[in-house]
Amino acid sequence: MRAPLSWIRDFTPIEAPPSEIADALNQLGLEVDDVDAPGAEIHDVVAARIVQVVPHPDADKIRLADIEFGGGRALRVVCGAPNIAAGMVVPFAQVGAMLPGDFRITKRKIRGVVSEGMLCSSRELGLGDDHDGILVLPDDTELGADVRDVLGLHDVVFELSITPNRPDAMGIVGVARDLAAHFGLPFALPTAPAIELVDRIGDVSVVVDAPERCPRLVARVATVVMGESPAWMQQRLRLAGMRPISNVVDVTNYVMLERCRPLHAFDLDRLAGRGIVVRVATDGERMTTLDGVERTLDGGDLVICDGERSPQAIAGIMGGRDSEVDASTTKILLESAYFEPAGISRSSKRLGLRSEASARFERGVDPNGAAAGADRALELLAEVAGAVADPATIDRYPRPVARERVTVRSARVNAILGTDLTAAEVRGLVEPLGIETEGSDPFIAACPTDRPDLAREIDVIEEVARRVGLQHIRRTVASAPAGSVGRLSEAQRERRLVADVLVGAGFCEAMSMPLISPADLEHVGLTADATVEVANPLRAEESILRPSVRPGLLRAVAGNAARGEPDVALFELGTVFGPPRSGDLLPDERTMLGAVIAGTVRRAPREPDRAVHVGDAVDVVHALVAALRLADLAIEAVAVPGLHASRSARILVDGADIGAVGEVAPEVLARLDLVGPAATLELDVGALCAGRRRPNRFVPISSFPPVNFDLAFVVADDVAAAEIAATVRAAAGDLLERVELFDEFRSDALGPGRRSVAFALRCRAHDRTLTDTEIAPLRTAVIDAVVAAHDAILRG
């Protein structure tokens, strides 16, 4: 963004030196890349007229131009620009002249012909990047006049880097408003006159078929006389980095640069159907844009069509060749619109077509400035193109955008910034920025609609910081409530406790990718029905956000097994994602604990190793319950997708389902090329830690010896071991210290659909040594309870 100082002064009477203005702009967040005085590096460049152009005798792409520049002086110059022609007035750098970049012109021989200087383009004069041809000056320019005077190059231009959140600063008006506020100067922006709204202007119609993509469109009609812009307008456009084209096009560019209001002028007589239609393009539709390139559109592009629905412009990006204004134009339809920013950005990137207009629309221009922008253009057109505008206006604006109303507290401002401002001082700082205020403290800040970045209290606080200046805000040390420094939150401590329990049980922590593919879910027996898809996945294998940590953990187990390490125990505390809840825009996120143990359990030297079974995962659940002192845990046998049909269960805390535990289904193991068994669990950590807790009371350790005995029962396959263990606890009473499943056995001898489960029981009293007379009835009571409750048979 190039902002000439003279243009800024049209709106505020700033007289500070350029260096002070640059410091102010930097403080205001409008970073100054360069302060350019284009004329300072230019010497001995004058206006000259081309008398004749002849071919070079020894080259095809360069020509010889004879020029005169006053006082009877005439010279020959060698030039490769394609646009030179006899009668043109152009900038001529004489031998010895200086150009930007410390470039001195010397007499040179080019392919045998001596060049007595150089004709200059805009880029060679430091006026922009246009290098397509020699800069053409107005025909009535005095020959021999200093180009700096002709082009107004004594002006100062600020080269600004505008951040994406400040679309208003991509117009001179936005920059001037900030500077006026900083220097305490008046800011004057003429108010737009009242307009006469109509549905049609004569036979001219406007239809908006995509109001969600084009929330507002203003159309005006005017007769014009085509020609060149006056010198003052051309000078300002060049200083701002744009090439003058014609008076009508220059006015639309001028208003865009001044008001951050992109406009487009259609030749009304070249619009079939005498009107425009705004609609979404169809896939494969084609049109030729102003740069002469045929573009292929798709359903994501927004187009402005003529009355017969033929595309005439890619909305917010570039006009079309079929309806562009030219020397024959006598009547124009002026369009001033607000387009949805994200759509413009997507189309611009997809088409590889970026323009000054798209750079502004994709940031978000002021929807409430559309009519005023059209009025400003017609005012200028009346001055430079003899325009006569129809007084009527077509304004398609079904849902007007209101100012964002934000509650601002002076206490919050001071807490964030470390300042000591009163509410009145805060209001005085933000009001010059166009923010209207109501009330005292807290007060309501009604933010201007040309500032889409102002939507929350913190945004207004940032404006206060810009006005005060970060360099003027004293340094303070952040404070925290007494006793809270260095502490973990309760949720953080419990999350660490969960991890500590798994590590203590011999598990290693793993971290898997949150991006997976639907095939990953299918491999572990899950479905991809309720998943969150990634809009633009980098790889097909990472197209959805994981709804479970199980796929990543099982993939890690399979990877270890493939490398000769089948016996692993891994856990992960990770985020899983689900579809947004009702009323939410973002996916539902939960922290889940997943764990997998696979292969063989290595036991003490006196006990044989054994294969992993579901009890190993259930033991981890009980360890978590004990560590968190949960009061109500239930494990209900039920088939869980991806787990063994008869060796899986849901885990309930306080009656709420928080996860599952079980052995991995045989078909899943086969798909992962795992030979041995594997057990897994997955729990919602938030729900787990939210469970009711047992009182944290001390129970002294008994000094008396325990009594250990084992019981094995034959039960049906659908009877869960957890249910049997619960029956044992209830029957044994307070003397039971621990019950643990240690064996599960299947055999044809037990009968079809039946299995043997064996439990180790430990009993102990705190005040005595238990005797056989006490243990015998307890043992009998446990056996009778299990037999009665689960149709069990005691194995001898």
> Is the pLDDT score of 472 beyond 90?
no
Residue type, position 594, single letter? G
| Partners of residue 164 on adjacent β-strands | none
pLDDT winner (highest mean) among 36-45, 438-447, 474-483: 438-447
Mean pLDDT of 119-134: 82
- Kindly report which listed range (313-322, 428-437, 599-608, 623-632) carries the lowest average pLDDT score: 599-608
171 pLDDT more than 70: yes
Q: What pLDDT, on a 0 to 100 scale, did the predictor assign at position 183?
A: 95
Mean pLDDT of 323-352: 95
- Mean pLDDT value across residues 779-784: 96
pLDDT of residue 560: 94
Check residue 485 and give its pLDDT: 64
Calculate mean pLDDT across residues 696-716. 91
Pairing verdict, β 63-68 and 43-55? antiparallel
3-state secondary structure of 181: helix
Q: How confident is the model at residue 782 (pLDDT cuts 50, 70, 90)?
A: very high
Q: Give the per-residue pLDDT at 545.
A: 93
- 């493939």: which residue's tokens? 562
What six digits make up the tokens of 525? 């027996």
Whose tokens are 């040390």? That residue is: 477
pLDDT exceeds 70 at position 614: yes
- Three state DSSP letters for 478-504: CCCCCCCCCCCCHHHHHHHHHHHHHHH
Give the amino acid at 282: T
Per-residue pLDDT at 484:
60
Residues in CB range of 630: below 8 A, 6 or more apart? 624, 653, 688, 691, 692, 693, 694
Find the helix or strand (DSSP H, E) in which 760 lies.
strand 754-763
Q: Decide: 45 and 146 in contact? Cβ < 8 Å.
A: yes
Residue 503 burial (CB count, 10 A): 12
Q: Residue 605 pLDDT more than 90? A: no
In the predicted structure, residue 71 carries a pLDDT above the cut 90: no
pLDDT at 261: 96
When mean pLDDT is compared across 286-290, 376-380, 750-754, the lowest value belongs to: 750-754
Cβ atoms < 10 Å from Cβ of 23: 16
Would the pTM of this model clear 0.85, i.e. be above it?
A: no
Specify the pLDDT at position 703. Answer: 92
pLDDT at residue 615 is higher than 90: no
d(CA 733, CA 781): 10
The mean pLDDT value of the chain amounts to 91
Buried b (16+ CB within 10 A) or exposed e, 194-220: ebeeeeebeebbbebebeebbbbbbbb
What's the pLDDT band for 263 if we cut at 50, 70, 90? very high
Say if residue 731's pLDDT is above 90. yes
- For residue 664, the one-letter residue type is V
| Coil/strand/helix, residue 606 | coil
Q: Distance of CA 614 to CAs 218, 607, 663, 671, Å? A: 70, 19, 5, 20
Q: Which residues pair with 388 in a beta bridge?
A: 223
Residue range 660-705, pLDDT digits in tens: 999 999 999 999 999 889 999 999 999 999 999 988 888 888 999 9
- pLDDT score, position 100: 86
Task: List C-alpha distances in Å: 481 to 410, 411, 487.
Answer: 20, 17, 11
- Average the pLDDT over 250-279 and give the result: 95
Q: Encoding tokens for residue 543?
A: 């197209």
Query: Where does the pLDDT of residue 207 fall: very low under 50, low under 70, confident under 90, or very high at 90 and above?
Result: very high
Check residue 584 and give its pLDDT: 84
How many percent of the chain have pLDDT more than 70?
98
Angle, helix 772-790 to helix 721-732, in steps of 10 degrees: 140
Confidence of residue 482 (pLDDT cuts 50, 70, 90): low
pLDDT at residue number 125: 86
Degrees (nearest 5) of the Cα angle 369, 374, 375? Answer: 100
